[in-house]
Amino acid sequence: MARSKSWRKIARPIIAEVLLKAPADATEHQLRAALRAVYPFGIREHHPYKIWLDECRKQLAFHLGQKAQSTAPALRFRFCHGKKPFWIDVQCGWCNSRKPLGCMLCLSRHQALIAVLADAAFQGQLTCLRQQPTADGAHVLGDWLEEHGEYELADLFHAVNGNDIDWI
Ligand SMILES: [Zn+2]
C-alpha cells in the first residue's frame, strides 16, 4: 500500500500541471494525448501504469467536470467560508441554497453530506488532518471518501489548496 501511495504521489503533480497548463479549449482527446506524453514510469504496464491511468482518469474527470459546470447552474459541495451549520455545504444554483434541507436536485447531496459528517471513521480521519493540515492529508481523506462511493465529496478534498486547508 505504501508503495502505491508513492506512485500516486509522483503522478499527481505531473498530471495536475499538464491540465493546468492546457489551453482552455483543449478537447478531452488532446488532454489525453498530452498526458500520455509525460508518462513518468518508463514501461507502460504493471502497477505503476495502473496507478497512473487511475490518477489521470480522476483528474481528467474533475477538470472536464469543472468546465461543464461553468455553463450549468452550480450544484456542488464547497467549503463554507462563513457561519453555517456545517463547514462543508451544498451550493445549489437551482434553489440558490435557500432551502435548508435542499430542493429536489440537491437533496441527495445534503443527505450524503450529513451521513458522511456523522461517520465515526470519517471523523477520525478528519481529526488527523486537522492536527496536521496538508494537501497530502486532504488527498488521504479524498481517497477514503472515494472508497466509500462519495466521489463528489472526494473531489472537494482532492482539489484542496492552500486557502481551503485553513477551513478544514
Ligand atoms: Zn437546491
Q: Where are the domains of the chain?
A: 2-69, 75-167
Please tell me the predicted confidence (pLDDT) of residue 1. Answer: 46
Question: Is the pLDDT at 24 greater than 50, yes or no?
Answer: yes
Over residues 122-135, mean pLDDT = 89
Question: Separation of 53 CA from ligand 1 center, angstroms?
Answer: 34
| Mean pLDDT score, 131-148 | 89
Determine the pLDDT at residue 71: 63
Query: How far, in Å, is the centroid of ligand 1 from the Cα of 107?
Result: 7
Tell me the CB-side half-sphere exposure of residue 13, using CA atoms within 13 A.
6
pLDDT of residue 41: 93
Q: Count other C-beta atoms under 10 Å from residue 116's C-beta.
A: 19
Say how many Å lie between the CA of residue 65 and the centre of ligand 1. Answer: 19
The answer to whether 18 and 34 have CB atoms below 8 angstroms apart is yes
CA atoms of 144 and 11, how far apart (whole Å):
19
Distance of CA 84 to the CA centre of its chain: 22
pLDDT level of residue 68 (50, 70, 90 thresholds): low
Query: Where does the pLDDT of residue 87 fall: very low under 50, low under 70, confident under 90, or very high at 90 and above?
Result: confident
Closest CA to 143 of 154, 153, 132: 154
Distance 120 CA to ligand 1 centre (A): 27
In the reported structure, the alpha carbon of residue 97 is separated from the centroid of ligand 1 by a whole-number distance in angstroms of 5
